[in-house]
Amino acid sequence: MSFFYPKDVDFMEMFGCESHIDNDGLLESTFIDTQNKKMVFSISDIQNSISAYIYQDEALIFKIYEEGAMRVMIYENQIIIEYLNYQDLYAKRLTIIDVYPIFKIDHSTLIDKDMNQLN
């Protein structure tokens, strides 16, 4: 995941959030939705991890924390996270986070490419 540089703060801010990189290389972005919920999305290059914490009225209502091989893509109002198999970097799970107008999170487990098809 070593593809985040200070210019990526500007890239993240194009999606209507505040972003910064701290001294440990953690890229942190804060999104606010139309219902005044707040999501703090972080990517750590050192720990090879991502986290997403959603708050309503300062109370934590949902969190994701994952470590390992992953690919993070941002498309329009979505953050797409693919959790990868270490051997061949094939996506085994997928999380899609809609960040605007309302936070919505979808998780999917993808069928292993080596599994036999079910009849």
The tens digit of pLDDT for each residue in 42-57 reads: 988 777 888 999 999 8
E strand or H helix at 12: helix 7-13
Neighbours of 29 (CB within 10 A): 24
Written as six digits, the tokens of 20 are: 């910064």
Write down the pLDDT at residue 1.
Answer: 41
Tokens coding 44: 């750590």
Angstrom distance (rounded) from CA 31 to CA 87: 34
What are the tens digits of pLDDT across the range 65-99? 988 888 888 877 888 888 887 777 777 888 898 98
Domain boundaries, the chain: 7-109
Whether the model pTM is above 0.85: no
- Is the pLDDT at 38 greater than 90? The verdict is yes
